[in-house]
Structure 1
């Protein structure tokens, strides 16, 4: 290891809480044993007491690899004081440069499209400036408002969905929001999202809408949209046996989506794949004209699994919240509830969110869907939609009727 690597490892080993704020990655380090040590730090999430405790934990984890770590130069490096941020940026830049050199060599050997794409990405990473953090002076923000005061906006800036959902949310979806929709299995949360998406595209054909459908195949999601918009029962659509009248309704429903920009994504499973896709799609939309739905949280795979699902979920929800803020777009994330709530058959609370902890903390809005009837095979189900958390608005509830045959949610 070089002096910067030694120093950063020593800082992390002696100050466990730094692992929460320093975006360290194993691949920054040239020594394979050190990379394994960093992976353990991330997995432990700061759960060690000083260097000796970390070393003991590492030896229990992998005795052979742990013996190859030389702690002497790591300890000696701590006699020098460096700015932590500068060391982190140096290691980031060194790694990005090495990756760019490798990508350039690969392209030189085989100049195909894949290697060209990898080379472009590597150079983009190398050109990123970790210091490029921007802010706005409060005084300037206030004067900007004064300059525009008395000039009403033609729109409130919110993304309109189903009218009654807009009412519950105080007008609609807003940029920068992470919205959690929680429900027990078979309550209709996926169908509820399809109703929301249909409402959004009906209100504005310029909207760019993505549904990351981790649970259902694209054709199954398509069938639900067809059934909802044509009112032809799902059983008919799935078996592909519509009569002549129903066929006309399906054709008309399909035409309603001509010109729309809704993408159904079934092949993005990892968090990094989803966030990269959201960035690209949001960049293609006008400001205020993008929204992403993810169905659902429990199926998202972390890029660097810790082996602790609670920690993985914490990382996932925080990453999505940061992304929503950065891009100024709403991200709607579906979540299941803990089994205990199902057994007790009660109205859900924030602590019922599955693998909870950070979910309700990171969310701007939490919406619960839950049945208020007991008829399992009813053609119409009574579903309460309750806003249990709303940082910028009121907590409200509204009774809906859910018609599973056509995926329709409506107010009685």
Structure 2
């Protein structure tokens, strides 16, 4: 048996002092007081809040303030004067403590090394705080275990996402970012500001799929929702792939990245076959029956090889809840980068509380999908079913009121689009034509996007693209991702 008496008598981990290295903090501050260049060198690594000792936080704040308003001339005397102005000099120990800090290092050559130590200790303190909060939730929160896991992972990933970023709340800072984006769009002569959907007329209406946007694509069953969103996923992943191949810098690449598809209805193999047919323009029925000749089989192999290079991820585990979906998105973003999330479909997401009325369940899921879009800073496309009332009307074109089970879907969505095909009701009515009805666009106009539905290969194309020769993607030069 294990003797627990000795182990239990030792101090609990969280009874000890938080991680810190005061010698490194003093050495870093001393380096900054000795050399103006050292301040620039470490500014990208550390902020004043990264220091542990309150006196060191105040000294660092004074140094960084001076560095923003003066060129050179930062030393113990000017920092002491800055602290004196704010009534903080005595709180840090007076000029004597600044002199002690200066005596810590003979030169500023190792400033970056000291900064890395200070930053590392700060991150460890953040991790410690997160762990404390997680332990408290485990002991005191009666939520489902999956929800606790999701919250725990969110706390950890917040450290990864936010550490090192200077949070900007002042309007002047936000306006700098806004004007930078506007100037970029002017220079690019109207290029979409978000991620291109692959459908030019849709991009004209929406300026592309915007980061942090919740996009709802709704339709009655068998209208082609999954096929449509696979077309968009193809376009987004292909753009990310090409940007990677060209070795562009992050600013040149623009918005984009890999795509994660949560296929809650179809299996990942079924979805992979759809993608093969969409990319290669193959007859889906012939692929399913295995009725391909030698040339078509070779083409299919080429497509599969190229398709495998794209950053597309498919999760087909049924009954996923929002905590699980969010956790998976964080992992994908952290490991590979993330450009878009696809949910197929919204009403199949497992609610946190099965006892809650269905309308409230759907409302909560829609709200959390919007939060996910903001947290990941990518568009989240959620497919949704329309209620049966559409089929009972003479005019079967969908309306916002047809969204099934909850008006909260419309409320939380930034973009609501309906997919409609007349030939789904009457095969002789506009065969092969489809309408993408943009019924809500929070940041732009609404309207109708005419599409062509190619049933055999499960493709949607812009009307102007219908005459495109088959196999266009196969003909491009192969390269590795």
Report TM bin, short chain: 0.5 to 0.7
Deviates further, 271-280 or 311-320: 271-280
Structure 1 position 388 matched with structure 2 position 409: no
Deviations 1:209-262 (A, max 9, x none): 011111101111111111111222111211233111211221221132242110
Whole-Å Cα distance in 2 between the matches of residues 327 and 122 of structure 1?
A: 14
Q: Scaled by the length of structure 2, what TM-score is found? A: 0.56
| 2:238 corresponding residue in structure 1 | 202
1:179 is matched with which residue: 201, 215, 222? 215
Whole-Å Cα distance in 1 between the matches of residues 442 and 192 of structure 2?
A: 17
Aligned pair in 2 of structure 1 residues 308, 404: CA closer, same or farther (>3 Å)?
A: same
| 1:69 corresponding residue in structure 2 | none
Return the offset for 1:327: 2.1
Q: Number of aligned residue pairs: give it.
A: 300
Deviations 1:304-357 (A, max 9, x none): 223311000010000110121122111000001011112214211111001121
Deviates further, 326-335 or 358-367: 326-335
Return the offset for 1:156: 4.9
Whole-Å Cα distance in 2 between the matches of residues 149 and 185 of structure 1?
A: 40
| 2:226 corresponding residue in structure 1 | 190
Return the offset for 1:193: 0.7
Structure 1: gaps (5+ residues): 1-91, 102-117
Q: How does 1:41-56 map to 2 (within 5 A)?
A: none
| 2:358 corresponding residue in structure 1 | 309
| 2:306 corresponding residue in structure 1 | 256
Whole-Å Cα distance in 1 between the matches of residues 417 and 229 of structure 2?
A: 12
Q: How does 1:56-205 map to 2 (within 5 A)?
A: 96-97=135-136, 99=138, 136-143=169-176, 156-164=192-200, 166-205=202-241
Deviates further, 160-169 or 299-308: 160-169
Q: How does 1:230-379 map to 2 (within 5 A)?
A: 230-267=280-317, 269-286=320-337, 289-344=338-393, 345-373=395-423, 374-376=425-427
1:216 is matched with which residue: 243, 248, 266? 266
The Cα RMSD (Å) is 3.4
* Contact preservation (8 Å) 1:367, 1:385: yes
Whole-Å Cα distance in 2 between the matches of residues 166 and 255 of structure 1?
A: 30
Task: Look up the SS of the partner of 2:207 in the other structure.
Answer: coil
Whole-Å Cα distance in 1 between the matches of residues 138 and 442 of structure 2?
A: 42
Whole-Å Cα distance in 1 between the matches of residues 196 and 182 of structure 2?
A: 24
Aligned pair in 2 of structure 1 residues 143, 365: CA closer, same or farther (>3 Å)?
A: closer
Aligned pair in 2 of structure 1 residues 397, 148: CA closer, same or farther (>3 Å)?
A: closer
Aligned pair in 2 of structure 1 residues 147, 235: CA closer, same or farther (>3 Å)?
A: closer
Task: Look up the SS of the partner of 2:418 in the other structure.
Answer: strand
Deviates further, 342-351 or 159-168: 159-168
* Contact preservation (8 Å) 2:214, 2:373: yes
Deviations 1:95-152 (A, max 9, x none): 7337389xxxxxxxxxxxxxxxx8x958967x99xxx9x6611132225556888566
Deviates further, 357-366 or 397-406: 397-406
| 2:456 corresponding residue in structure 1 | 405
Return the offset for 1:157: 4.1
* Contact preservation (8 Å) 2:422, 2:431: no
* Contact preservation (8 Å) 1:96, 1:122: no
Aligned pair in 2 of structure 1 residues 273, 401: CA closer, same or farther (>3 Å)?
A: same
Whole-Å Cα distance in 2 between the matches of residues 148 and 299 of structure 1?
A: 37
Whole-Å Cα distance in 1 between the matches of residues 385 and 179 of structure 2?
A: 44
* Contact preservation (8 Å) 2:196, 2:209: yes
Task: Look up the SS of the partner of 1:204 in the other structure.
Answer: helix
Whole-Å Cα distance in 2 between the matches of residues 123 and 392 of structure 1?
A: 29
Return the offset for 1:401: 1.8
Whole-Å Cα distance in 2 between the matches of residues 173 and 312 of structure 1?
A: 26
Q: Scaled by the length of structure 1, what TM-score is found? A: 0.65
Whole-Å Cα distance in 2 between the matches of residues 247 and 379 of structure 1?
A: 33
Aligned pair in 2 of structure 1 residues 285, 98: CA closer, same or farther (>3 Å)?
A: closer
Aligned pair in 2 of structure 1 residues 96, 135: CA closer, same or farther (>3 Å)?
A: farther
| 1:12 corresponding residue in structure 2 | none
Aligned pair in 2 of structure 1 residues 235, 339: CA closer, same or farther (>3 Å)?
A: same
* Contact preservation (8 Å) 1:100, 1:123: no
